[in-house]
Amino acid sequence: MELLQEVSQYTQSHLAELWSALGEHLLLVALALTISMAVCIPLGVWTARSKMVSAVVLNTFNALRVIPSIAVLFLAIPVWGLSFTSAVIALTLLAFPPVLVNTDAAYRTIDPAIRESAKGMGMTARQILWRVETPLALPIIVAGIRTAATEVIASATLAAFIGIGGLGVFVVRGFALYDIAILLVGAVPVALLALTAEIILEAAQRKLQPPA
């Protein structure tokens, strides 16, 4: 109970800073997810159509999964410095694998008979892609975005380590001062954001699921 009071008091006394940090956090997440979708969805469509390209690209991007986000962040610093760009690049690379892998799987697993039926109806390759394949692939693509969103929201706290801001500011400050209340001021909103993204994207995934 005492801890909750400390969290409440600190939140009220730093409310403006908290709102600012929340805005910075959401901006980092939005940019990372937008860039990853813009790159990986078209790339996933391409890899789904070529086994050779798929083997090279997917193995390369899957290798990113074993590199800690903090390592990517510090590797970006020598090139872009202690900047917002470094944080966005690190988070974008983190989001790439789930979006790409799910997009590739979504288009690759479409029944070839469906494509043949569409061709038999006189549809062009572009029409088949947008009007037949993409509606079927969307639920699996959204599942990848859902995974990426959760990971990026959690990892965006690392931006505070290079002075970029975000909710990680309170987490870092809490560790530095050995103050759990301050740490929770940053950690709880991050957890709530991740949970909210999970619920919204799961609902979107169910909504996009085509009828059996």
**pLDDT tens sequence across 82-103:** 678 888 888 898 899 999 999 9
Which CATH superfamily includes the segment(s) 2-208?
A: MetI-like (1.10.3720.10)
Dist. CA 125–CA 49, nearest whole Å: 13
DSSP calls for 62-122: HHGGGS-HHHHHHHHHHHH-SSHHHHHHHHHHHHHHHHHHHHHHHHHTS-HHHHHHHHHTT
Higher pLDDT, residue 210 or 109: 109
Dist. CA 125–CA 107, nearest whole Å: 14
Dist. CA 16–CA 179, nearest whole Å: 20
pTM, two decimals, is 0.88
Q: Which pLDDT score, from 0 to 100, does residue 81 have?
A: 66
Q: Which range among 53-67, 152-166, 198-212 shows the weakest confidence by mean pLDDT?
A: 53-67
Stretch 5-29: mean pLDDT, rounded?
89
Q: How many CA atoms lie within 13 A of 208 on its CB side?
A: 17
Higher pLDDT, residue 153 or 1: 153
Q: Which pLDDT score, from 0 to 100, does residue 62 have?
A: 76
Where exactly are the structural domains of the chain? 2-208
- Closest by CA to 209, choosing from 163, 116, 128, 141, is 141
Residue 205 in tokens: 């995934």
For residue 199, is pLDDT > 90? yes
Higher pLDDT, residue 66 or 86: 86
Q: Which pLDDT score, from 0 to 100, does residue 82 have?
A: 67
Backbone angles phi, psi at 122, to 5 degrees: 90, 15
Stretch 54-75: mean pLDDT, rounded?
74
Higher pLDDT, residue 174 or 210: 174
Q: Which pLDDT score, from 0 to 100, does residue 147 have?
A: 94
Dist. CA 137–CA 44, nearest whole Å: 11
Q: Which pLDDT score, from 0 to 100, does residue 85 have?
A: 81
For residue 38, is pLDDT > 90? yes
DSSP state for residue 178 in the 8-state scheme = T
pLDDT band at residue 113 using 50, 70 and 90 as cut-offs: confident
Helix-strand-coil split of the chain, %, nearest 5? 85, 0, 15
